[in-house]
């Protein structure tokens, strides 16, 4: 599933490509996309990311809100020829954006009013005090909390594992057991790892591609995710793989306490 760095990569590419340009036509290829069926053309005022969501703002106040879910991605093509697994097209004067989504979980909807900026996005207007007040005393394992989009927007399985490893904190710990110092370590590690992920245009270990169909480079930076059985780059211990909430967690039980 695309996480914050992948969605931010798309956001920045879309900002440069379509801001100020008019959507001339759209086509829906999948009946599941009911939220975009009656779309009327408009001019793009700008693009922004909120958590894992892309918002294409139109000059008339509407927004096209896209959540890529498991396997969705946006692809820019000069040609209007429909790519495999495409579910929707937005046409411009010279070029097209396609929603390509093999598993058909991605969603698109039109919003009539501008949504309020969220306060739980570490790479945007993050309110650290508000987060700690709401989340720091929860009796929930830390990995699950980091992936809770209502608690902390944008982080999924890959980056949660990497953040906890860099912080030296076990994914099995309860959130309520952490000190303020440990929370600070998590916030700092998260910002550094997410920033690097954005610089590398995301992590391509399965379906992820950027707006131009190119793989990201951040898979080269992974220290624990997918590394079970290998030596820990921090302490030389062994990377373990366990299941939490139906998802694989990768961590070093030697240096993550």
Residue 27 above 90 pLDDT?
A: yes
pTM for this structure? Answer: 0.94
Instruction: List all residues 6 or more positions away from 246 whose beta carbon is below 8 Å from its beta carbon.
Output: none
Does residue 235 have a pLDDT over 80? yes
Region 216-221 average pLDDT: 97
Paired sense of beta strands 86-92 and 25-28, if any: antiparallel
Q: Please write the tens of the pLDDT for every residue from 157-197.
A: 999 999 999 999 999 999 999 999 999 999 999 999 999 99
Residue 220 has pLDDT above 80, yes or no: yes
What was the pLDDT predicted at 115? 65
Task: Work out the average pLDDT over 204-231.
Answer: 95
Measured in residues, the chain has a length of 257
Which DSSP string do the residues of 203-238 spell out, in sequence order? Answer: --SSS---TTS---SGGGG-SSTT-TTSBPTTTS-B
Rg, C-alpha atoms of the chain: 19
Taking 90 as the threshold, does the pLDDT of residue 206 lie above it? no
CA dihedral angle for residue 206, residue 50, residue 56, residue 75, rounded to 10 degrees: -10
Q: How far is CA 82 from CA 108, 139, 208, 236, in A?
A: 18, 48, 19, 49
Confidence at residue 222, expressed as pLDDT on a 0 to 100 scale: 98
pLDDT exceeds cutoff 80 at 117? no
Q: What is the tens place of the pLDDT at every residue in 70-103? A: 999 999 999 999 999 999 999 999 999 999 999 9
Catalytic residue numbers? 2-3, 52, 247
Placement of tokens 């490509």 in the chain:
17
pLDDT at 207: 84
Question: Is-contact 37 51, C-beta < 8 A?
Answer: no
CA-CA distances (angstroms) from residue 87 to 18, 96, 253? Answer: 20, 13, 43
Contacts of 206 by beta carbon, 8 Å cutoff, 6+ apart? 71
Q: What is the pLDDT of residue 118?
A: 79
User: Would you state the pLDDT for residue 37?
Assistant: 84
pLDDT in tens, 137-161: 999 999 999 999 999 999 999 999 9
Percent of the chain beyond pLDDT 70? 99
pLDDT of residue 17: 97
Would you say 185 and 169 are in contact if contact means Cβ atoms under 8 Å apart? Answer: yes
């Amino acid at each position: 599933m695309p996480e914050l760095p992948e969605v931010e990569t798309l956001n920045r590419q879309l900002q440069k490509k379509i801001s100020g340009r008019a959507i001339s036509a759209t086509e829906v290829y999948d009946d599941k996309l009911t939220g975009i069926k009656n779309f009327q053309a408009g001019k793009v005022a700008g693009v922004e990311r909120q958590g894992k969501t892309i918002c294409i703002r139109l000059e008339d106040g509407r927004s096209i809100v896209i959540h890529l879910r498991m396997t969705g991605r946006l692809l820019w093509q000069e040609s209007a020829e429909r790519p495999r697994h495409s579910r929707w097209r937005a046409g411009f004067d010279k070029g097209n954006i396609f929603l390509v989504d093999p598993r058909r979980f991605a969603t698109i909807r039109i919003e009539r009013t501008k949504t309020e900026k969220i306060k739980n996005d570490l790479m945007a207007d993050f309110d650290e005090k508000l987060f700690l007040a709401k989340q720091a005393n929860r009796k929930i394992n830390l990995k699950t909390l980091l992936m809770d989009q209502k608690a902390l927007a944008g982080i999924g399985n890959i980056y949660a594992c990497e953040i906890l490893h860099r912080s030296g904190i076990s994914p099995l710990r309860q959130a309520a057991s952490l000190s303020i110092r440990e929370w600070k370590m998590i916030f700092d590690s998260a910002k550094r790892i997410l920033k690097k992920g954005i610089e590398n245009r995301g992590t391509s270990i399965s379906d992820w591609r950027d707006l131009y169909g190119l793989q990201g480079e951040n898979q080269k930076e992974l220290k624990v995710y997918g590394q079970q059985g290998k030596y820990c780059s921090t302490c030389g211990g062994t990377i373990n793989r366990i299941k939490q909430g139906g998802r694989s967690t990768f961590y070093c039980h030697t240096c993550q306490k």
